[in-house]
Chain A
Amino acid sequence: MGTPAQAPAVLPPLRVPFEYVVNAVVPLNGNLPVSLQIQQDADFEWVFRVASRTDPRVTIDVSDGATGRKYTSAPVNIDNYAGTAALPFPLVEPFIIARATAINFTFQDSSAAQNTVQFVLSGYKLFPQGNPAQGSAGLITG
């Protein structure tokens, strides 16, 4: 007879794969601020950074919209910040963003041509097991 398994004190969240997408058409040699709103239904666990661009000469600057806290000390070349779908940049420790948070991005082009950038935050929505449908009916609990 084995010892009966004990349920963990805190149930792990239900993870649903989700991609938040930031699209930016950056004017030639200009900059473009873009804000990303994390939806209210669930916290977001950010696991991979992925991006595509028409020219590598574009930088990205990221900050928290609520606190103003910077996630990059200075603008980072897009190719140093994100990978591709085949080879994404792994956040070794996944980063959890609270629901309803805004993340601010600023793209700066230096290619002397219009640059079409798509930046993808790839990860999981975290739904509490006790209330997996939170937010679906407009009700935010927990």
Chain B
Amino acid sequence: MSVWDETRAAGLAPRHALGVWLTYRKLATAGYVPGERSRLPMRHKTRLDYAVNFSLAARLNAEDRIVTADDFYLLTLVGTSVDSVTGLPIAAGFRVQLYDTWRKQRLGDPLNFRNYLGTGQQPHILRAPLRFPKNTPILVRVQNADTSASINNIQVVLGGVGE
């Protein structure tokens, strides 16, 4: 098979699949990423990353929101938890929960960020893109799980595709 010209779905123009091959998986197997049908609505749309930042002392919690400027397809979840002074990762991290105000549903219970958010190297890729209509607030709730005197600099990034 040639990735350059193979047609994988009848009636669709050939498209190579390199964009969805994960380098840490065997190339012979499909990565756990959205399939071609799921990705079709996202063709020719703009890549967009929403970032939410928090600086929290021990055990504190906070909530912030992003509002989707256009229709937004959520694809990847990434986050970090670092000491505000040293810049080093904080082992305890934080708990995180997302709330979809359009569907009026929590996107899961609060959970340790390492079980939910990936990294730039290995982002958490949703198996199917999650669409949010224009002007939808998405709430991000976090609770600092660190009990030391450090300030926990938290960033949660919702990556995806806008209009």
A positions within 8 Å CB-CB of B? 8-10, 12, 15, 45-47, 49, 51, 55-57, 69-84, 86-96, 110-111, 124
B positions within 8 Å CB-CB of A? 4-5, 7, 13-16, 18-24, 33-34, 39, 42-53, 66, 75-76, 78-80, 82, 87, 119-123, 125, 129, 155, 157, 161
Q: Which of B15, B87, B119, B129 is within 8 Å of A80, CB to CB? A: B119
A sample of 14 more A-B contacts (CB under 8 A), given A56-B82, A71-B48, A76-B49, is A10-B13, A57-B82, A73-B48, A74-B52, A79-B80, A80-B79, A80-B119, A83-B120, A87-B122, A92-B33, A92-B75, A92-B76, A93-B39, A93-B42
CB distance from A119 to the nearest CB of B (A): 11
Sampled A-B contacts (6; CB under 8 Å): A12-B13, A72-B48, A73-B49, A79-B80, A82-B120, A90-B20
CB-CB under 8 A from B75, the residues of chain A are: 92-93
CB-CB under 8 A from A87, the residues of chain B are: 23-24, 121-122
Give the docked Cα–Cα distance between A10 and B23 (Å). 30
